[in-house]
A and B are shown apart, each in its own frame.
Chain A
């Protein structure tokens, strides 16, 4: 968690306007507020989590990214963050498009389904993978559209989305992803972090 927050924070310029989509209990928002910018908003679907955020004085709106991002004007945020939630949407493509409209830049982090530990579970155990990062069983997972680092990388190039920076995380080891090491990073990282622009 901490590493991911640090990486995201490093991608953001100081005193910019940020929207955290699926902000949960506001941990990342708090982190960024202390380290980068005071001008940060959140969007969260769970009432309980929204109340937790508001209790901390964070500016959060209860809502659904698939329907409620529309209300923000085009390019109204310098950065829009989607941290480990893309896979939970009914229509991830639509969400990415909405994010790219609302934000000048978008930071997407994805739990990598191509990580070797995940692959091995399916290969050897023959069951849907359950890992530290993906703790749910197949029947109760909120994750509808799991993807790999490579999937997301390819998605961006097919849809003509510019990738400014792509970072792989394994435990606390940080490395850059590029065309030539993509297959390896896709196998050896548990999280991918992408800074993109339409």
Chain B
């Protein structure tokens, strides 16, 4: 099976600083891949560079096996849906209209039908007519997630989709993304909460200084050694009846 997204040996600079130094990932249909790492490790840069949103110094970025630089905007949008970290909305459009922005390729009537269906999936059907700036952060997150799902793309990339959300909304967001993977999508999320990442993702890529420090199943990727070297934490991933949790304290504390 062709990987939905393959990034290999990516190098990229922001200003003079090297933010990616050989970073890589690959994700297949049906899989939820988590990208974790300390602040400044290059998580957002990896997504942006891998999507063609920032120039590459070196490396390969393939969407469904095709080099991203060779895709025109329409082809790229057909292969990937992106939820950026920056989620400030400029105008107070009704939720339904915002969700429908995920499907600009469809005639307006069909786009609205898809939007209605995805709002329903994210539990935001009742909000369809509400202005997105009149909502709570959690409600708006559901609407933006519905917009992402409305792209109907085989690869969904979400940068910090749970930042600023309460615990319930965080779990719901990841559950919904898992549902999309179960429907056959490849899903990539960046996350800061290591326990949440370990529970929600099939595989993790741990980034540090623009390089892959570890990867694999959560138990393997977040070994005590990785926690110590990358995150400066003394601790371990622990299996509990509720799933994996990270028990740790700051190094030397």
Real binding pair:
no
Report B's interface with A, CB cutoff 8 A. none
